[in-house]
Amino acid sequence: MRILVIEDNSDIAANLGDFLEDRGHTVDFAGDGVTGLHRAVVDDFDAIILDLNLPGMDGLEVCRKLRQDARKQTPVLMLTARDALEQKLAGFESGADDYLVKPFALQEVEARLAVLLRRGRGNAPRVLSVGDLEYNLDTLEVVRGGKQVNLNPTALKILSALMEASPAVVTRQELETRVWGEELPDSDSLRVHIHGLRAAVDKPFGKPLIQTRHGIGYRIADVDAAA
């Protein structure tokens, strides 16, 4: 999942980001309502975690503008420190899909986001497919030729980017930004992770899907199917 966290408490935002990224999700952040609304409208996210009390524009107004003005139906999980029924009803009336009171368990946040995604799709799973390779974006399970492939969170992010773009080439810069954001690693890190991804996804199955475009980037494609 690609998730937008709109939260002005840096500790809470960091805890959410670390947990969700360790689970293989991609997380972006906004620290105020105005910035959060802009990101939510301009970019495409699978889900939004939205704090109720925000500087500039509160969560209720952000959600209301997202639904009524921008006509965006991205699932919204609203966070608040208040457990009053009136606040919950106000959140739902503004367009929120679910409501979670602080303090919360990080595992519950991920579980509720998964439920919102299934509900929005009518319970149909989101699966990326290239040839005999499948990646379930909800369960984070990778299967090739009927056999499960175990990948670490960084490899999952790279695989997701390549499969979403397939059969197009994804540049090195695009991959590095997708995986590490603005804190780019040393020049060999991406190459090392691609090597590990190939060892898990391609090597045991004989037919390679991951291809290098020297000086440009990488792509994943079923060459026989594309021919």
DSSP at 203: G
Domains and CATH numbers, the chain: 2-120 (3.40.50.2300), 127-226 (1.10.10.10)
Predicted TM-score of the model (pTM): 0.57
pLDDT for the residue numbered 170: 92
Q: pLDDT band at 123, cuts 50/70/90? A: very low
CB 2 within 8 A of CB 26: yes
Which residues have C-beta within 8 Å of that of residue 33, sequence separation ≥ 6? 6, 54, 55, 56, 57, 58, 59, 61, 62
Model confidence at 225, pLDDT cuts 50, 70, 90, reads low
Instruction: At 71, list the tokens.
Output: 């006509």
- With a cut of 90, say whether residue 101 has pLDDT above it: no
> For the residues 86-100, what does the mean pLDDT come to?
81
- Helices marked H in 95-204 — which ranges? 106-120, 153-165, 172-180, 189-201
Average pLDDT, the chain: 87
